[in-house]
Chain A
Amino acid sequence: MNRNGNTRKRPLPTSQPTPSPPAAKQQATTPAVDDEFVDEDVFLDETLIAEDEENLILRDMEERQALASRLAKWSRPSLSHEYTSQSRSILFQQLEIDYVIGESHKGLLPDRSGMAAIIRIFGVTREGHSVCCLVHGFEPYFYISCPPGMGPDDISRFQQILEGRMREMNRNSKVPKFVRRIEMVQKRSIMYYQQQPSHPFLKIVVALPTMVASCRGILDKGIHIDGLGMKSFMTYESNVLFALRFMIDCNIVGGNWIEVPVEKYKKTSKNLSYCQLEFDCLYSELISHAPEGEFSKMAPFRILSFDIECAGRKGHFPEPTHDPVIQVANLVTLQGEDQPFIRNVMTLNSCSPIVGVDVMSFVTERDVLLAWRDFIREVDPDIIIGYNICKFDLPYLIERAETLGIAEFPLLGRVRNSRVRVKDTTFSSRQYGTRESKEVTLEGRVQFDLLQAMQRDYKLSSYSLNSVSAHFLSEQKEDVHHSIISDLHNGNAETRRRLAVYCLKDAYLPQRLLDKLMFIYNYVEMARVTGVPLSFLLSRGQSIKVLSQLLRKSKQKNLVIPNVKQAGSEQGTYEGATVLEARAGFYEKPIATLDFASLYPSIMMAYNLCYCTLVTPEDVRKLNIPPECVNRTPSGETFVKSNLQKGILPEILEELLAARRRAKADLKEAKDPLVKAVLDGRQLALKVSANSVYGFTGATIGQLPCIEISSSVTSYGRQMIEHTKKLVEEKFTIIGGYEQNAEVIYGDTDSVMVQFGMPTVTEAMKLGREAAEYISGTFIKPIKLEFEKVYYPYLLISKKRYAGLFWTNPDKFDKMDTKGIETVRRDNCLLVKNLVNECLHKILIDRDVPGAVQYVKNTISDLLMNRMDLSLLVITKGLTKTGDDYEVKAAHVELAERMRKRDAATAPNVGDRVPYVIIKAAKGAKAYERSEDPIYVLENNIPIDPQYYLENQISKPLLRIFEPILKNASKELLHGSHTRSISISTPSNSGIMKFAKKQLSCIGCKALISNSDRTLCSHCKGREAELYCKTVSQVSELELLFGRLWTQCQECQGSLHQDVLCTSRDCPIFYRRKKAQKDMAEAKRQLDRWNF
């Protein structure tokens, strides 16, 4: 496939009858499903730019000598003599593995010629040297099952036919030979239990990785073979990415250490990359070290965190075709260090200095971009991180450079003169949904976008950098609206400095998140455990991780995995996990919780469930397996027991869980915090991997779905929950000699809640332990029921919704635990969350139900009386597309349209989050017509609609909590006397108000007064003192609030002498701050009326 760059150099032949559309467009239109793995051959000579152009760039470099010397001090440590003289073996931790197509290496492979795939391994040595290892001799291949009766002659004829068909398909390819060779091997398919140990298979070795797919296509469709007729073949392992194939066959796992012994490598004659150590070797010479002991450590790789700022036009989100890049902030940290060793910012136009930061100012945007490119090249980061860099920052930089015509900009990878490749991809998976994104390939550097990692690993109500850092680092980040950014940029050196400080903070936060959440450790360990390259973890779904393990294990067992055609979801769904019916209520006695430890993996191990142990219904009849050697699952499938055939999946699971136990034991021993981090990351990765095996078998559009396995797993799970319930309720009874009858009040996927009826936590714990032990004894190993915790008190609302205090020791509760009622949903306002939390706190911890009821009543009364803080009522939704594209009218979309009509400059754009409140409007108005911008509401005194909030926001969650506790909860809470008084503010912008004449009214009784009276009417004159006290107390409350709010914002921005600019609408005090400012002015005016 051709990538960008080559068309200019070598235009497509016009004689071609049907010109294929440009590759990039093809990519955009065919969504690459997560589970469809496609290799892509990149021809080395085509991505490189021409020699003369290279000279031009170099000359250009000299012009920027000053900058170069500034950057040079950050280059990597220089090589020792041992390295330069090639007198030592090279040991390095690899981070990225890919391949290119190039001329076969004559020195290493004298008997081969022509184009071949060369594997490139990029990594870092212990000393911090960068490594590019070019591996030769590894060839792409796959299997088909050999038709019976095929002899050596038949095979060579078959090879000729296949070669002929391949040549037809790829007419203008210059490869001399497509099918290198076909070997007969003895293998067995992983599918279904088979009695014979092996069958003959054909291993087809092809010239280039992409030929695997085209060859598979030919064989799928059918091929005419003399004597056999038209025959189609099932292919095996034809969907394995080439790099992964290489890793599996060489026993390399993601992020491990690789050693190339001395004299087994040859320094490249002409360096293709910018790496310090670049050499060629044969794939058979690599030594792959298992990540244990010394080799579990991390090399000191360089992590670059960066952020860019663009000067957008008013009313538009920045677009690379129009808006310049004005600043780039960079922080570089060595893995394992807690402080960055480089901090700098590149700015367009002058910028005042910043303490501890290297500020580099440039006159043209071209210089800014090229400085960044030089910086990347000189610092040579191994990992590039940032927030939304994959979708925004990187593509923006590249497209911007294209707009400006800077052809030499996108040389950001590690390969000399190789341009960065950009393509649109659609990432879709069952777990994460469909996302469109741009993929920028920086050869040899791993990209780690914190936004993607967050979306993958955490469920949050908002993924803005602000709210993510507030959540994990408990820090509010000031948020400068993109319309202000241009103003700051167009100001002076001081305002640009202000912007630079902001930009630096945005570059720093991803690094802090990375450290705080141990992403590097966790992801490297995940790569090591599952055996896939680091870059797969973020860019691909779960299934490749399981597939990688399955392939590794199969290889050991001489099994091959069929490439099953994408079956779609027609296989139907199967019954999922059941839950025992919840007996809703408020339990004031301790509830013991019995949990199955890793239930699904245990079931698969206990019952030996696997592809290779499954017996087809047909075979059940044919094979005559003795009944004591099989398990029939509750869903009706048959699997052989492990004495006949040990399953691969159970074996993988056993290894994973054993490794996890080991990691946990080591973790206890470990002292060094870095070692601890590695081990903790590993045990977590092992747990996640073990749990994802079940999901892999159930993924109906996955690599190797097997509904028989997954439905058997859940059916066993259901049986076990039922079984536990039965045993508990049979054994723990008064008749059985216990004080009370036990009762199972609820059971979910892998846990059962039991009320033993004992009044104290200690006794409940004792019985819980006894029950767990007793019931575990009745299960097949390793299925185990564990007693972990007691809930006391426990509020069970319905299935998957409960709250309770969580006890693991009898003296003190650990925390308040809630499921399903945490109102993390985005379309809820903060009021709901606060109200629910406060009520649960009062009910569970204070044990004060009347107090909770009173609190609800007060809150509702405040809402109706218009005393509610507006920020609590704001609802936020992301605007993902423009109004026309939405099929149903939505409140936030309508509002965005309306705001655009008011002022296009500040209206939200696609990609922004739109905050709104629901306001009072004409009767029968639709909800989407009643949304309004909170700031507009504040400025114009628009009345909010308390009924909407009462009915659509707070009533449901409240009733859920109170219904198990209170009789007539709805009547009591939502319709009591506290709902009778209502106060609504008068809007200052409504039509009728334009005709109203303003006249002073008496502060005491609101009667109209003449201007000469100023404050009070004649009747209220005697109440001056009282009324003044009231006015002044309002002023004083507001002053208090004003001071606290505005000094808090100064605190967040980290400066006393500069004005607060932040417009973060995610910040809980943003609206309050605005409102305080406005109210203060109004209150002061009222107070001034007294100055007569």
Chain B
Amino acid sequence: MEAMEIDAEKNLQRKQSTYLSLDETFEIQKETYRGQQYSQIYFARLHLMRTLLYSLVPHWKSHLKVCTVLGLEEEKECIIVGTLYKHMKLKPCILDEYSKERSAVPLVKPHNFLHLDDHLVLEDESGRVKLGGDMLSPSSYVTGVVVALHGKETGSGDFLVLDVLEAGLPPQIELPLQSREDKYVVFVSGLNVGSSTSNPLQFQLLVDHITGHLGDEKEQGIASQIVHVVIAGNSVEIPSGLLNGQNLASKDQSRLSEPVKELDILLSQIAAGVPLDIMPGPNDPANFSLPQQPLHRCLFPGSAAYNTFRSCTNPHCFELDNIRFLGTSGQNIDDLEKYSEAKDKLEFMERTLKWRHLAPTAPNTLGCYPFTDRDPFLIESCPHVYFVGNQDKYGTRELRGSEGQLVRLLSIPKFCETGVAVMLNMKSLECHTLSFGTQFGS
């Protein structure tokens, strides 16, 4: 499609940046399933968050006593810290598969599981108490969030909430001095190579753009400023019927590995020129529960040969020129959408930062490894860029914290459906989209 003329005088040099991976916390090394349960991750979460919240309470309401759920006294105002649990009427239940009579009339499937009767409960190691009052709206909170509450126990045994304290944005490392240069990071997600909706040409155009094989000099100039590419999940789609554990005919064997091969070819084109991070997503050949472990290198015999190719965990955390990036392939936000409400996806993202927890609904409704002594999803340090992949549409916003933290929120659309990738300028943390269309005007 392109005539590639390389002009020796105008030889463009791709810019570089320093990269530091911070994925270690999301890696599951020696941990195995030895019969541990989920109580421990909640315990670890509560323990860490409580220490944090206790340190904030004196600045919030120093005159009030802090107690545990058990220590509550009727009609006496105090502060309690605990994990929220949302009691939901419509929440799907695995027991229904067995015990419920099959209903004769199929139910209309709602877009989320909220119901007016939902209510919140606060739990600590000592017990549970039902929360009342209008301060804490059940529709915006989910199970697993740790908060401090100011209120009092009423005669009926409920806790009337008068005020809420969330942990708020974590402290942020100072943004490095603004460099004068424009440097770009490209985010893309939902390539879905192998699915019926993916268009190979679109992806090829993206690759060509990144690698500088597309457009005029100006375009190429911009391409040369791309210092990093992040693929945020759902890169391939493997036909599901083929994985039921039986031996496959050779025809099916190739159908299975074909999309992976195709992806490998395209990725090796990128990796040849630009450093590339690939994160696993819900549809990728990776494990299901969070944190998802890196896609196996044997899937990418071609691109894995480059040292610019990095297979990463999901969630993924790294630093580029000391700018901190944190992101997921979208599961955490999608799950919040099923069990709570907000005006847009960016608001969900904002909440997770304020709760200091990437995925509060794990393990309750979001699959998660049963950690025993830690909760890797706690956000200890505030990122400068917080991105989420596989969303319906592109969106971005700047979020400012009370202590001057500045975060760029970024929701990355599915590429196979929208043809959109996102460019982030590291100089200003501004974003713009790259749209690829293959529809030619007729």
- Residues of chain A contacted by B93 (CB below 8 angstroms): 1048, 1051
CB pair A1068 B39 closer than 8 Å: no
Whether B256 pairs with A1026 at a CB distance below 8 angstroms is: yes
* Chain A: minimal CB distance from B416 (Å): 19
B126 CB within 8 Å of chain A: yes
**B145–chain A nearest beta-carbon distance, Å:** 12
A1081 to B298, CA, bound (A): 23
- A1033 and B363 contact, Cβ closer than 8 Å, known pairs A355-B69, A1026-B253: no
The distance in angstroms between the C-alpha atoms of A1047 and B38, with both chains bound, is: 7
A residues near B70, Cβ cutoff 8 Å = 352-355
* A356 proximal to B (CB < 8 A): yes
* Chain A residues with CB below 8 A from B127, complex form: 354-355
Question: Does A998 count as interface, using CB distance less than 8 angstroms?
Answer: no
Given A1056-B85, A1057-B42; A1032-B285 close (CB under 8 Å): yes
Say yes or no for B83: interface residue by CB 8 A criterion.
yes
On whether the beta carbons of A1030 and B85 are closer than 8 Å, the reply is no
Neighbour of B288 across the interface among A1030, A1037, A1058, A1081, CB < 8 A: A1037
Of the candidate stretches B5-13, B98-106, B177-185, B339-347, the one touching chain A is: B98-106
**CB atoms of A1026 and B261 under 8 A apart:** no
Q: Which stretch from A22-30, A138-146, A837-845, A927-935 is at the chain B interface?
A: A837-845
Does A50 belong to the interface (CB within 8 Å)? Answer: no
The answer to the question of B289 belonging to the interface, with a C-beta cut-off of 8 Å to chain A, is yes
> Measured between alpha carbons, how far is A1048 from B127 in the docked complex, in Å?
18
Note all chain A residues with C-beta closer than 8 A to B72. 355
Minimal beta-carbon separation of B436 from chain A (angstroms): 27
Knowing A1025-B260, A1025-B298, A1036-B286 are in contact, say whether A1044-B128 is a contact too (CB < 8 A).
Answer: no
Residue of B34, B37, B97 with highest tally of chain A CB at under 10 A? B37
Give, as a whole number of angstroms, the nearest-CB distance from A977 to chain B. 16
B287 touching A1029 by the CB < 8 A rule? no
Contacts of B102 in A (CB 8 A): 837-838, 841
Residue of B33, B99, B245, B369 with highest tally of chain A CB at under 10 A: B33
Q: CA–CA, A816 to B102, complex, Å?
A: 10
Smallest Cβ-Cβ distance to A812: which chain B residue:
B105
A474:B38 contact, CB within 8 angstroms: no
Q: List A contacts of B296 (CB < 8 A).
A: 1028, 1032, 1090
**Complex Cα distance A841/B106, Å?**
12
Complex contacts, A1051 vs chain B, CB 8 Å: 93
* A1040 and B261 contact, Cβ closer than 8 Å, known pairs A1048-B93, A1054-B128, A1057-B123: no
A1054–B253 Cα distance when bound, in Å, is 46
A231 lies within 8 A of chain B by Cβ: no
Given A1026-B248, A1028-B299: A1068 and B98 within 8 A (CB)? yes
Bits for A351-363, please: 1 = Cβ < 8 Å to B, else 0: 0111110000000
Encode contact with B along A860-897: 1 for CB under 8 Å, 0 otherwise.
Answer: 00000000000100000000000000000000000000
A1023 to B35, CA, bound (A): 33
**Of A1030, A1039, A1046, A1069, which is within 8 A of B245 by CB?**
A1030
Q: Given the complex, which residues of B lie within 8 Å of A815, measured CB to CB? A: 104
Asked whether B157 is an interface residue with its Cβ less than 8 Å from the other chain, the reply is: yes
Task: Say how far A867's CB is from chain B's closest CB, in angstroms.
Answer: 8
Interface flag for B1 (CB, 8 Å) = no
- Asked if residues A1047 and B124 are in contact (CB atoms below 8 Å), the reply is no
Q: Tell me the chain A residues, 1076-1092 only, with Cβ under 8 Å from chain B.
A: 1077, 1080-1081, 1084-1085, 1087, 1090
Contact of B123 among A476, A1042, A1043, A1056 (CB under 8 A): A1056
Chain B residues with Cβ under 8 A from A352's Cβ? 70, 126
- A1034-1064 interface (Cβ within 8 A of B): 1034-1037, 1039-1040, 1042-1048, 1050-1051, 1054-1060
Asked if A813 lies at the interface with its beta carbon under 8 angstroms from chain B, I say yes
Tell me, yes or no, whether B140 is within 8 Å of chain A by CB: no
Give, as a whole number of angstroms, the nearest-CB distance from A795 to chain B: 15
Contact with A along B258-296 (1 / 0, CB 8 A): 001100000000000000000000000111110000001
Main secondary structure, interface of A, reads helix
Shortest distance between the CB of B365 and any CB in chain A (Å) = 7
Q: Is A939 an interface residue (CB 8 A)?
A: no
Query: Are A1032 and B287 within 8 A (Cβ)?
Result: yes
Q: Are A1029 and B260 closer than 8 Å at their CB atoms? A: yes
Q: Are A1057 and B46 neighbours in the complex by a CB distance under 8 Å?
A: yes
A1046 to B144, CA, bound (A): 15
Q: Are A1043 and B363 in contact (CB under 8 A)?
A: yes
- Contact between B99 and A1025 (Cβ–Cβ < 8 Å)? no
A1088 to B: closest C-beta gap in Å: 8
| Cross-chain contact A1043 with B256 (CB below 8 angstroms) | no
Check if A476 sits within 8 Å of B35, measured CB to CB: no
Question: Which residue, A470, A841, A1033, A1081, has most C-beta atoms of chain B within 10 A?
Answer: A1033
Kindly state the interface size class of chain B when it binds its partner: 35 or more
Query: Do residues B34 and A1081 form an inter-chain contact, with CB atoms below 8 A?
Result: yes
Q: Is the CB of A1057 within 8 A of B98?
A: no
In the assembled complex, the Cα of A1047 lies from the Cα of B289 at a distance in Å of 13
A684, CB-defined interface residue at 8 Å: no
Contact residues of B between 113 and 135, Cβ < 8 Å to A: 123-129
A16 to B: closest C-beta gap in Å: 62
Cβ of A538 < 8 Å from any Cβ of B?
Answer: no
* Min CB gap A1069→B, angstroms: 6
Q: Which of B43, B144, B299 contacts A1025 (CB 8 A)?
A: B299
Asked whether A287 is an interface residue with its Cβ less than 8 Å from the other chain, the reply is no
Q: Max chain A CB contacts within 10 Å: which of B70, B104, B301?
A: B104
The residue from A834, A1028, A1043, A1056 contacting B285, defined by CB atoms under 8 A apart: A1028
Give bound CA distance, A838 to B104, whole Å: 11
Write out, one digit per residue, whether chain A residues 473-517 have a CB within 8 A of any chain B CB (1) or not (0): 010100000000000000000000000000000000000000000
Q: Taking the complex as formed, is B367 at the interface, i.e. its CB lies under 8 A from any CB of chain A?
A: yes
User: What separation, in Å, do the CA atoms of A258 and B59 have in the docked complex?
Assistant: 67
A583 to chain B, nearest CB (A): 26
Contacts of A1056 in B (CB 8 A): 38-39, 42, 83, 85, 123, 143-144, 364
State how many angstroms separate the Cβ of A436 from the closest Cβ of chain B: 32
Which residues does chain B contribute within 8 Å of A813, judged by CB atoms?
104
Contact indicator B243/A1029 (Cβ below 8 Å)? yes
Give chain B nearest CB distance to A887 CB in angstroms.
Answer: 35
CB distance from A965 to the nearest CB of B (A): 19
CB proximity to B under 8 Å, residues A1009-1035: 1023-1026, 1028-1030, 1032-1035
- Cα A1023 to Cα B250 in complex, Å, equals 10
Query: Is there a chain B Cβ closer than 8 Å to A115's Cβ?
Result: no
Least distance between A99 CB and chain B CB atoms (Å): 44
Query: A861 to chain B: closest CB distance in Å?
Result: 12
Q: Mark B123-160, 1 if CB is under 8 A from A, else 0.
A: 11111110000000000000110000000000001000
Interface status of B95 (Cβ within 8 A of chain A): yes
A448-480 contacts to B, CB under 8 A, are: 470, 474, 476
Bound state CA distance, A1026 and B258, in angstroms?
9
Chain B residues near A1037 (CB-CB < 8 A): 288
Q: Are B363 and A1023 in contact (CB under 8 A)?
A: no
- The interface residues of chain A lying within 8 Å CB-to-CB of B442 are none
In the assembled complex, B32 has its CB within 8 A of some CB on chain A: yes
Q: A1058 vs B369: C-alpha distance in the bound complex, in angstroms? A: 17
Interface residues of B in 68-114 (CB under 8 A from A): 69-70, 72, 83, 85, 93-95, 97-99, 101-102, 104
Contacts of A1024 in B (CB 8 A): 298-299, 301
Q: Quick one: given A352-B70, A1028-B285, are A1059 and B37 in contact (CB under 8 Å)?
A: yes
Query: How distant is the Cα of A837 from the Cα of B144 in the complex, in angstroms?
Result: 37
Contact of B83 among A1025, A1057, A1060 (CB under 8 A): A1057
Nearest B-chain residue to A842, judged by Cβ: B102
A-B contact pairs, 14 of them (CB 8 A): A1025-B299, A1026-B253, A1033-B243, A1034-B245, A1036-B287, A1042-B33, A1042-B367, A1043-B367, A1045-B94, A1046-B363, A1048-B94, A1050-B39, A1051-B93, A1060-B39
* 3 residue pairs, one from A and one from B, having the closest CB atoms: A1036-B288, A1068-B98, A1043-B367
Q: A353-B70, A1068-B98 are in contact. List 5 more A-B contacts (CB 8 A).
A: A841-B104, A1032-B285, A1039-B369, A1047-B365, A1050-B37
